[in-house]
Chain A
Amino acid sequence: MLSLLKTLQKSSEILGINHRNTVYVRPYNSLNAKEIADDKILCKKILSRHGIPTAEIFKVVRNHKQLNTIKWEDLPHSFALKPNIGTGGSGIIIFYGKKKNSLEWIMPDGNTMTATQIRNHISKILDGQFSMGNRKDTAIIEERIINHPLLKQYSYKGIPDIRVIVFNKVPIMAELRLPTYESGGKANLHAGGVGVGIDIATGITTTAIHRKGASILDDVYDIIETTLDESKLPLRGIQIPQWKEILRIALKCQEATGLGYLGADIALDRYKGPIVFELNARSGLAIQIANLSGMRSRMERVKGLKIKSVDHGIRLAQNLFGGQVENEIEAISGRDIIGLVEKIQIHPPAVEGKPATPSPATKKQNPSTTPCKAQIDTGIMRSKISTLMAQRAGYKQMLEYFRSLDIPKDFESREDAREYLKEMLPKITEHWLIIDAIITGESGTIRIRPIVSVTMDIAGTTIIAQMAVSSRKDLPYSIILGKRDLKPFLLDASKTFSLH
């Protein structure tokens, strides 16, 4: 009886469907605002007016007459085909490429669809087969988002996205949604995608979930540790790139549409950064399972607060709801203790098109890894790796590519470097190993350095560090690990090397 009462009390922390609909969706989402969210074309128009990036539309097909006039040879090699008022991802097909000299486009599972088959699918969209209430619908052909290389490693084809729940101009909860083979390249959890909770404060992933196979109940999930494919990459501890920008865009979507309770689905394009995929006026609640936390208590905390600006909303959320990552790591089994200098093993970098395959850290040295010593420095945020060590560890081709860009080796000011980087970043990150770039001041010289993802074993733990590649000629250690990558560890200044 006591346990039942406790469960009932705890349930008041979690947002259920009834509560969502009666207390939040109905009062806070007006009919007009819901129409904006449900209509992708209208939504894009409104978001664009507010300067919020969305995927570009190539073609809109409103009726069978227009369908008959499509010039198939003019369609791009890759595009996304979607119903305008579809629900739950149904009816969406992504095409990755086109077969040479034919009107056949390639889907995530490797199968192809001919122009006739695509035409047939558009016809079904127009007839309302995938729309809410089976109403007549419009088909949209829009640009395919190019996956960010970091997130690409964790997804099976398709486009991963980040769902951010926003209420009263505060980001409440967020989740990374990854397509899988089972979901056919869709990120929807109902379709078999993987959901990973994200700590609002840091943008670092926490718990991952995947729907249970055979279950009497709908919407029931298993907690998983790694991706479902062969590479088995850990899903905890991924730093979502451009995290603050993603939160900003989600809040701006709320301002633009007037939706009081909003789920913003944001994808990370490799070149364009965060792009709004879709908005939801009745966002699903499995996000709470991925975060192992209830939304209801969070929303009640921010209800009625006066939020002065987008940044204010973000700061509030980070202070009130952040810190999941630290809590979880401490709760699991205690952190590993490391010293000021540690022996590490660097894994070979990812091959283009395939995710990196970190092997579990063992006492025996893995022959394919590069051993070296790393200095641990909690006084700096960003980890660094010397050019020489990066070359030894297998990043030679990346370094050559970066050199070939002929980036100036010294800028007059940080402002100049920033302007240059803004223009050059898409070119710099064209190489699959370079995920970002940073402006550094080294001995009075202002330079631009590439940032790469480096998988390494340290103190019995495998981590993926995002490191700036820089010259460290005069320094004793070719690798320095900064605060961002030290969260799984506790530092003992009296230690030299860990016995692992």
Chain B
Amino acid sequence: MPDITTWLMERGVSGDILLVLTFVPIIVTLTSFSRYITGIKTFGIYASMVLALAYYYMGFIQGFSITILVVISSWIIRNILRKARLHYLSRLAIVYCTISIFVLGFIVAMSYLPTDNPYLDFRNIPFLPLAMIISVTDRFMASYIKKDLMTAGRLTGETLLISLLGWGIMRWEPTNTFLTGNLWIIPVLIIINIMIGQFAGFRWTEFIRFSQVLRNVESPENTTKK
């Protein structure tokens, strides 16, 4: 049977396309697994996927720095605009505009740092990953509005954790080579997601969440039915 990867590359399909098309299923499966098996929630599939890809193409340190800047500035701006009489989308648009100013200001400020460290040079970061990171702003905003700061912070942290894992899988040479060379992984991930989708057991975090109840209930074989 011909090696599909080799065949595709001979047909002119670039390595980057193969990379993205293998890693998107990996990252979304990771997001699904983290929610339904471990109980680690995120802002959903889009945010984790977009951030992981952005970190891969931009570099983790730079990508993560921009992400933190976006999270903090959207929280600050949201609090400033809280009492303003504005429609929801206009409010969101103002947040995006202000974030652009903050990011620009940050890039300029970093350019004045007296250092040769390339990780601290933001002047030539790729623009598409930058746009991808900024685009996750409305997920952060929605959580600040609907939930309290603690919950929004928790969700942000969990999203960043999954994105970091995704970036790690893409960045690590052995997984990178294996996945792009074995595209049969994609249909296998479909089967894995079907299994995750039907999983009805406890999420790992629920063992902690219901620990008081677990201490109190009897094992099923010890329960006497009335």
Are B209 and A219 interface neighbours, CB within 8 A? Answer: yes
Q: Is the CB of B198 within 8 A of A22?
A: yes
26 chain-A/chain-B pairs, Cβ below 8 angstroms: A9-B219, A9-B220, A10-B214, A11-B202, A16-B210, A17-B203, A17-B206, A18-B36, A18-B202, A22-B200, A90-B147, A116-B85, A117-B83, A127-B87, A214-B150, A217-B209, A220-B208, A288-B210, A288-B213, A292-B216, A293-B213, A294-B217, A297-B223, A301-B225, A319-B226, A320-B226
A331-373 with Cβ < 8 A to chain B: none
Produce 1/0 per residue, B174-213, CB < 8 A to A.
Answer: 0000000000000000000000001111110111111011
B84 to chain A, nearest CB (A): 8
CB B186 to nearest CB in A, in angstroms, measures 25
- Chain B hits for A405, CB < 8 A: none
Which of A129, A190, A217 is the one whose CB lies under 8 Å from B88? Answer: A129
Cα distance, A301 to B147, chains bound together (Å): 36
Answer yes or no: B142 CB below 8 A from chain A CBs: yes
Distance in angstroms between the alpha carbons of A11 and B214 in the assembled complex: 7
Contact of B220 with A12 in the complex, beta carbons under 8 Å:
yes
* A residues 275-305 touching B (CB-CB < 8 Å): 288-289, 292-294, 297, 301
Which among B203, B212, B213 has the greatest number of chain A C-beta atoms within 10 A? B213
Alpha-carbon distance A22/B142, docked complex (angstroms): 27
CB < 8 Å: which of A13, A17, A221 contacts B217? A13
Let me know if B146 is at the binding interface, CB within 8 A.
yes
Contact between chains at A297 and B220 (CB < 8 Å): yes
Q: How far is the CA of A471 from the CA of B171 in the complex (A)?
A: 85
Contacts of B87 on A, CB cut-off 8 Å? 123, 127
Q: Is B151 among interface residues, defined by CB-CB distance under 8 A?
A: yes
Contact A218 B154 (CB under 8 A): yes
**Min CB–CB distance B110 → chain A (angstroms):** 31
A309 interface residue (CB < 8 Å to B): no
Given contacts A123-B87, A294-B210, 18 further A-B contacts (CB under 8 A): A9-B220, A10-B217, A13-B223, A14-B210, A14-B217, A16-B206, A18-B200, A22-B200, A87-B146, A116-B85, A119-B85, A124-B88, A127-B88, A130-B145, A134-B88, A214-B150, A216-B154, A293-B217
* A223 on interface, CB distance cutoff 8 Å: yes
With A14-B214, A294-B213 known as contacts, the answer to whether A130 contacts B201 (CB < 8 A) is: no
Query: Using Cβ atoms and an 8 Å threshold, which residues of chain B touch A289?
Result: 209-210, 212-213
Decide: A16 and B89 in contact? CB cutoff 8 A: no
Q: Check B10 for interface membership: any CB of A closer than 8 A.
A: no
Q: Which residues on the A side are within 8 Å of B202 (C-beta)?
A: 11, 14, 16, 18-19
Alpha-carbon distance between A90 and B214 when the two chains are bound, in angstroms: 31
Q: Please name the 7 residue pairs, one residue from A and one from B, whose CB atoms are nearest each other, closest first.
A: A127-B88, A292-B216, A120-B85, A16-B202, A22-B200, A19-B200, A13-B217
Q: Which residue of the partner chain A has the closest CB to B196?
A: A18
A88 close to B (CB within 8 Å): yes
How long is the Cα–Cα vector from A32 to B212 in the complex, in angstroms? 36
A116 to B216, CA, bound (A): 51
Tell me if A16 and B217 are in contact (CB < 8 A): no
Nearest chain A residue, comparing its CB with the CB of B88: A127
Residue of B nearest to A221 (CB): B212
Number of interface residues of A (CB under 8 A): 47
List A residues 1-56 near B (Cβ within 8 Å). 6-7, 9-14, 16-19, 22-23
- The residue of chain B having its C-beta at the shortest distance from the C-beta of A87 within the complex is B146
Give the residues in chain A near B221, CB-CB below 8 Å.
Answer: 9
Interface size band for B? 35 or more
Residues in A with CB closer than 8 Å to B142 are 134
B residues sitting closer than 8 Å to A (CB atoms) are: 36, 41, 83, 85, 87-89, 142, 145-148, 150-151, 154, 198-203, 205-210, 212-214, 216-221, 223, 225-226
Q: In the complex, what distance in Å separates the CA atom of A129 from the CA atom of B89? A: 9
Could you say which residues of chain B place their CB within 8 Å of the CB of A288?
A: 210, 213
A149 proximal to B (CB < 8 A):
no
Q: Which residues of A contact B213 (CB under 8 A)?
A: 14, 288-289, 292-294
B218 CB to closest chain A CB, in angstroms?
8
Q: Is the CB of A274 closer than 8 A to any CB of chain B? A: no
A130 to B141, CA, bound (A): 12
Contact B214 A7 (CB under 8 A): yes
Against B, the Cβ 8 Å flags (1 = close, 0 = not) of A467-485 are 0000000000000000000
Complex CA distance for A107 and B200, rounded to whole angstroms: 42
A191 within 8 A of B: yes
> Does A128 sit within 8 A of B, measured CB to CB?
yes
A111 to B7, CA, bound (A): 69
Which one, B146, B199, B212, contacts A90 given CB within 8 A? Answer: B146
Cβ-closest chain B residue relative to A8: B202
CA A124 – CA B83 in complex, angstroms?
A: 11
Which of A18, A134, A216 contacts B199, CB < 8 Å? A18
In the complex with contacts A123-B87, A134-B142, A292-B212 CB distance below 8 A: yes
**Closest residue of B by beta carbon distance from A213:** B150
Query: Within residues 161 to 201 of chain A, which ones have a CB less than 8 A from any CB in chain B?
Result: 190-191
**How close is B150's CB to chain A, nearest CB, in angstroms?**
7
Q: Are B145 and A129 in contact (CB under 8 A)?
A: yes
| A16-B203, A18-B199, A218-B41 known; A6+B219 contact, CB < 8 A | yes
Complex Cα–Cα for A191 and B216 (A): 26
Whole-angstrom distance between the alpha carbons of A14 and B147 in the complex? 26
A19 touches B201 (CB 8 A): yes
Please name all residues of chain A whose beta carbon is closer than 8 Å to the beta carbon of B225 when the two chains form the complex. 301
| Distance (whole angstroms) from the CB of B9 to the closest CB of chain A | 41
Distance of A66 from chain B, by nearest CB (Å) = 16
| CB-CB nearest in chain B for A295 | B213
Measured CA separation A79–B208 after assembly (Å):
40
Smallest Cβ-Cβ distance to A91: which chain B residue? B146
Chain B positions within 8 Å of A119 at CB level: 85
| Residues from chain B with Cβ under 8 Å of A117 in the complex | 83
Nearest A residue to B146 by beta-carbon distance? A90
Measured between alpha carbons, how far is A462 from B89 in the docked complex, in Å?
Answer: 56
Shortest C-beta distance, A479 to chain B (Å), equals 36
Chain B residues within 8 Å of A130, by CB = 145-146
> With A and B bound together, what is the CA distance between A293 and B218 in angstroms?
10
Nearest CB on B from A403, distance (A): 48
Q: For residue B145, which residues in chain A have a CB less than 8 angstroms away from its CB?
A: 90, 129-130
Task: Give every chain A residue within 8 A of B220 (Cβ-Cβ).
Answer: 9-10, 12-13, 297
- Chain A stretch 72-121: residues in CB contact (< 8 A) with chain B: 87-88, 90, 116-117, 119-120
Taking the nearest CB of chain A, how far is it from the CB of B136, in angstroms? 15
**B151: A residues at CB distance < 8 A:** 190, 218
Give chain A nearest CB distance to B74 CB in angstroms: 15
